Structure 1
């Protein structure tokens, strides 16, 4: 037998000894924890889906997660309630969240880019004040905002919900961090050397580079405004201007005396989730593209 054959047979017998040990059972613990967390988050959604498919009698008599057969009827009843006021609430919410999130993204992007790429006196102080604004709960600002807008006679108007939603300290913070990391200073200096103005730099260089970060700011602000309850509850008195959160709350209060409205509230809650799901599924590709580009650069 040749030397190479003997050497090869020895390597074949030694190879299993060099393999890494099998992962321990403890390594499965994070997976189990994540699965439990996912179940905890998805269980309420599952309950809403099943409860929205039941009649009012089935809602209180059948098994909690047992599906019903009245989903279409519940949607029809909800659409016909008070002349379709629910869909007016959905349109109001889309207006508040859509316009507010777009304006907030523009303001956050410009402010974050300015704080990241320009040097001016008081820049650190401005950023620290905005950072402190992230720590202030929105409930603390609700009453001062109401008093301020009441002084200008803007309460019970669409502006009373839109204006406070435009400025987002957390959005500015995210935009500033993203602009500092995504836009090299050398690229801006090269554009200035070629004669590009500041507006051209912002529109042609900064904005395309910040798209994934701006999409993140838009999504966060859109969801925050869509789910906002306290601000419109304080500012608005006309039910035709209510967002869906306040509108469903009024229905829930009426359900104490009219139990049949409970199924309408649950059905309305289910339908109000769908636009958020569609929005996330539509815009998540921007995060995927950003991760891939980062991997290529790395």
Structure 2
């Protein structure tokens, strides 16, 4: 079916009290698994391509975006295409011709004032082209190249008062907030601050986004969605499933050289993971 816009999917999820899961694409198999998992679950989903994934593909967004778009259009599930954790303004501006309906502009490494200025400019640029813009306030941490971050350390979590001002000053369409999760977790032990989620939901007029959801237990995700978290980002959990299936296959079949032999179970493992997370969205 035709690509759906991320903004439409987020708005529908928020109005119905459901979550919307967004999954990171690295390979073609990731995109195929996300589409298949969404079809299996009977729910919408977002295919996200991060700046790090673009770097992995030689710094050119074109090919990986075209592949994800083709997979989404061939699917029977409502799917959108989102550019994730973009720090490069040049890459952000490549989103429009590549067919993205949304982007997460990440100025979180800048000072607060510079973050506001850069994000407001990204929002102005995006809105002129019909692109929905997400931003981050607080320190989720854990991304590749970043120092380890204690998600429970003082000053790390998003302050509701600051969030209100940030949204007003930047005009963002959605806000990723730090409430106890961390990027790149391979064990699901994160404890979320549900009181803070509720306070942010009540204070901030735009949908809330949870990054680092791979490390959050099922029950915590369900509670977060019930408390008002809307867009739920998942990346590492797919990679864990993919790599685990490849390791298992090659351990049992060490003479294998045809990658299709182990990519089939890897893709199926990711499909199951996608369907599982989609089942936590409250539909």
Query: Normalized against structure 1, the TM-score is what?
Result: 0.23
* Structure possessing the higher relative contact order (Cα contacts under 8 Å, 6 or more residues apart): 1
- Structure ranking higher in helix proportion: 1
- Structure ranking higher in strand proportion: 2
Query: Normalized against structure 2, the TM-score is what?
Result: 0.24
